[in-house]
Amino acid sequence: MEGQRMPGQRKIYEAWMEKEGIPVYEAPAGVEDIIELPRRPWARTGGRGTFIQLDGTKQAGKLIYVAEIPGGGSLEPEKHLYDELIYILRGRGLSEIWHQGQNKRTFEWGAGSMFAIPLNAWHRLVNGSREPVLILAASNAPIAMETFRNTEFIFNCDYNFTDRYTGQADY
């Protein structure tokens, strides 16, 4: 039952990662070549991905993943109750960010760009070329999932954190 954990059970975010259906790369420290990690279709996002679980990031309550956006495609719109930082490893495109009922704001990015997704704001990453885009993302999802203990709440809460993002054009 989500919401309660018995001694010896896996953590909520570990069960969630398994349900996501993409590979999980685990190591004590470091990844030799992030770009070469195997990626599989990630149904929820519409891209391909792999989770990266390093001992240090796990202890710090961080979740890291690599995702691929297909050429000419986009990831599915999503929102979540955790902070996320995205670094573009390869490719170019744009991000759309919005709150329900408000206009979408967009900004362009390319290889080497880094940006944060506002907490619980709808967002979508769009590939601007025919070549796949590769992103590296870090979040505090494990902390949020273990705090609220309910992934439906994490991905479906309607609260807008207007102290962080109000749809301003210069975000």
Query: 166 pLDDT band (50/70/90 cuts)?
Result: confident
Residue 3: per-residue pLDDT: 47
Rounded Cα gap, residues 16 and 53, in angstroms: 14
Whole-prediction pTM: 0.89
Please give the pLDDT value at position 6: 52
pLDDT average, residue stretch 163-170: 82
The pLDDT value recorded for residue 1 is: 40
Residue pLDDT, tens place only, 19-72: 999 999 999 888 999 999 999 999 999 999 999 999 877 777 889 999 999 999
Question: Tens digit of pLDDT for each residue in 71-105?
Answer: 999 999 999 999 999 999 999 999 999 998 889 99
Q: What would the 3-class secondary structure string for the chain be? A: CCCCCCCCCCCHHHHHHHHHCCCEEEECCCCCCHHHCCCEEECCCCEEEEEEEEHHHHHCCCEEEEEEECCCCECCCECCCCCEEEEEEECEEEEEEECCCCCCEEEEEECCCEEEECCCCEEEEEECCCCCEEEEEEECHHHHHHHHCCHHHHHHCCCCCCCCCCCCCCC
Q: In this structure, which amino acid lies at residue 39?
A: R
CB atoms within 10 A of CB 3: 9
What single-letter amino acid sits at 68? Answer: E
